[in-house]
Structure 1
Amino acid sequence: MLNTTSTPAGADLDPGVRDFIRITGEAYVTHGGDLEKTAVNARQIAEKVRAPWVAGGPVMFSTVEQSVPTPHGAVRIRVYNPDGGANKPALIYIHGGGWVMFSIDTHDRIMREYAARAGVCVVGVDYSLSPEARFPVALEQVITVVHHVRDQAALLGIDPDRLAMGGDSAGANLSLSTALHLRDTGNGKALRTLVLNYGAFAIDLSADDVRKYGGPQYMLTAEEMAYFWSQYLTGSDDVNPLAVPLLADLHDLPPVFLCVPQCDVLTTQSLILDGRLQTAGVETRTIVYEGATHSFLEAVSISEVAEKAFSDAAAWLRERL
């Protein structure tokens, strides 16, 4: 259950997550204090800030990169194999960053953690970022990568019949929208399951979430989320269910694991999604992680709650794949 006790802002966070927020906040000041606020600078700063959190963690048997042609230019993918096994199940993982920043480099450790813990190959996708590439560019690139992985599965050491997809924040949005597209184009069986971490599924935020978790002591503010949406969408995209998946008909989707941090301006969106998926007959497992906030999986090196979230998702993937 969610803790509704009134506490000072930030006091309800897991100690490791609180340190993660403090350290990354200080690093943003160090690396970007005097730079002009542009998308390019923001990305460069974000890569530097996140670099220390990528260090350490599981060592892979092999890591291979490929360039995949898509309707919107080539996309880099990175394939992690934890043990060298062939014909392995795979998780196609889509990084977060508000569609505006981050990369498979900032999320390298997250993907290695999933590979090692679940015993699967992980395929990271370096999709094009907004505002240079607005909706539906990234989505169509991700969809193309799914078909590429299925077509080239033997060469990648992957079993094409045991594919999952997952992501965090904007990556969770893209993962769910990809599953909707695959269902609607007759490829609904392409994915066995989805792993959705603190996703952005609707434009409107819960006023209660914003009041409790929208301050600087937490990782993501309402203003930042509004900015990200403004960079990703144009025109009438805000009513397109492939851009805003809480608007979609959610029937006939694969089983869904929802990783929901307690202290996030997006928390209620995941809980609403859970209810609508169940109403549509989709199996879900939804866990609310007390003391966690947006991006908390990146703090796995120092956070017990992040450690538990990875273990829970890995168990789900092993069961489903």
Structure 2
Amino acid sequence: MPDTFLPLHRDLLDPQVAELGELAARAGLVPADPLRLPLAGARDAAERYHLFLNGPALPADVREVETVGPAGPLRLRLIRPPADDGRKDGKCLPVLIYFHGGGFVLNSIDTHDRLLRLLARHSGAAVCAVAYSLAPERRFPHQRGEALAALRWVVRHGAGHGLDPERIAVGGDSAGANLALGLALDARNEPGPPLSFGMLLYGMFAHDFDTESHRLFGGGRYGLTTERMRWYWRHYLGHGGIARDPAAAPLLADLQGLPPLHVAAAGLDCLRDDSLRLAQRLEMARSPHRLVLHATLPHSFANMTRHVRKAEEAVVLAAGEVRRHLLR
């Protein structure tokens, strides 16, 4: 059975989230709405809003590398824990390959800077953040190919950068969780050691809007809307895309043979049921997993850690699971 945590008061927004919204509004910032802005304007608004959320950079050893993706260069950002975390033996660190959220259309490794540094700090692993291509300039399945290219780079070249190619986890939030789960599926057929772990935060796992969470939260009271999710999927797949292709919607894939997974759902999120249904399917496939429902938090809570205590606790919990599986 999955290890499941269902906190009480599941219909109440954490007050610090509401305070954060008011604080951002006073600063003249609102979350980017791509349905009401030109795409370039929405992307710029997302970067500025997340710059506010991130605040001053947390200490970390950060460097950039480049590999070859399916159609050109692919940038990777390596974030190692602070030098004072006690790991001074020169040995290779385990690595978490991470994919940012944003509906495949918005955001970047810069918007997720604080989150990436927190994950490195609390997991004790290096984080390899993947600057994958955005839609609609590049559509599915291009991003799946870039994810696999990142994994192959870590396996073949990671040791030269202090990364242990035999202790690899994958992770992501929202659309990034889709890519992380897809990579875990692809890695089953890759040569070399198997993946050790997967961390999936409020994932975008299926092109399905007929769920209870979409009915409850899709109107936008807590941020993300069903209308916006339809727009993201359309930009990712294109008008001729096959929405029920398991490579695009990994909830529909064969989920056997996966590494242990940490599945975190936001309770006040139209995508909540994507994670709950994934946990059900993992149970049917007898794939080890832990489901955690953060009942009072909305979508994108992992980017709110500077202001929302429960969001930081959720990220620290997920990072602790990475540590438990990689630093044995």
TM-score, normalised relative to structure 1 = 0.91
Are positions 1:285 and 2:290 aligned together? yes
Q: How far 1:206 moved relative to its partner?
A: 4.5
Is 1:48 the counterpart of 2:48 in the alignment?
Answer: yes
Using the aligned pairs only, state the percent identity. Answer: 37
d(CA) in 2 for partners of 1:77, 1:272? 31
Count of residue pairs the alignment pairs up: 313
The structure, 1 or 2, with the larger RCO (C-alpha pairs under 8 Å, 6+ apart) is 2
In 2, the alpha carbon distance for the partners of 1:243 and 1:257 equals 20
> What's the CA shift string for 1:41-75, capped at 9, x where partnerless?
21111101110111236311x11001221122112
Q: How many angstroms does 1:307 deviate by? A: 1.7
| Alignment partner of 1:215 out of 211, 216, 219 | 219
The 3-state SS of whatever aligns with 1:268 is helix
Which of 86, 104, 112 aligns to 2:109? It is 104
Secondary structure of the structure 2 residue equivalent to 1:238:
coil
* 8 Å CA contact retained: 2:144, 2:179: yes
Structure 2 match to 1:73: 72
2:232 pairs with 1:228: yes
Q: Which residue of 2 aligns with 1:20?
A: 20
Flag the 1:36–1:293 CA change in 2: closer, same or farther, 3 A.
closer
Q: Which runs of 5+ in 2 are unaligned?
A: 1-5
For structure 1, which segment, 307-316 or 250-259, has the greater mean C-alpha deviation from structure 2 after superposition?
307-316
Measured after TM superposition, the shift of residue 308 of structure 1 is 1.5
**Partner letter of residue 49 of structure 1?**
Y
Higher mean displacement: 44-53 or 103-112: 44-53
Q: Offset of 1:26 from its aligned partner?
A: 6.9
Unpaired stretches in structure 1, ≥5 consecutive residues: none
**What does the per-residue CA deviation read over 1:215-268, in whole Å, with 9 as the maximum and x for residues that have no partner?**
333120000000000000032431211101111010001110011111100111
Distance 1:45-1:249 versus aligned 2 partners, 3 A rule: same
SS of 1:91's equivalent?
Answer: strand
Q: Where does 1:1-321 land on structure 2 (aligned, <5 Å)?
A: 1=6, 12-24=12-24, 37-56=37-56, 58-60=58-60, 62-84=61-83, 85=87, 86-183=91-188, 185-187=189-191, 189-234=193-238, 235-321=240-326
- CA root-mean-square deviation: 2.3
Instruction: Work out the CA distance in 2 between the residues paired with 1:134 and 1:158.
Output: 30
Q: Give the whole-Å Cα distance in 1 for the aligned partners of 2:144 and 2:122.
A: 27
Q: How far apart are 1:81 and its partner, in Å?
A: 1.0
Deviates more, 1:231-240 or 1:164-173: 231-240
Give the secondary-structure state (helix, strand or coil) at the position aligned to 2:70: coil
Aligned partners of 2:46, 2:302: CA distance in 1, in Å?
16
Confirm or deny: 8 A CA contact 2:9 2:295 kept in the other structure: no
- Look up the equivalent residue of 1:55 and give its one-letter code: G
TM-score normalised by length of structure 2? 0.89
Deviates more, 1:127-136 or 1:21-30: 21-30
Secondary structure at the aligned position of 2:144 is classed as: helix
2:220 and 2:260 mapped to 1: Cα distance? 34
Using the TM superposition, give the Cα deviation of residue 136 of structure 1 relative to its aligned residue in structure 2, in angstroms.
0.8
Give, in whole Å, the separation in 1 of the partners of 2:180 and 2:191. Answer: 14
Q: Distance in 2 between matches of 1:245 and 1:15?
A: 33
Cα displacement (A) at 1:311 = 1.9
Over residues 132-153 of structure 1, what are the superposed CA-to-partner deviations in whole Å (9 max), with x where a residue is unaligned?
Answer: 1000111111110110011111
| Change over 3 Å in CA distance of 1:115–1:187 after alignment to 2 | same
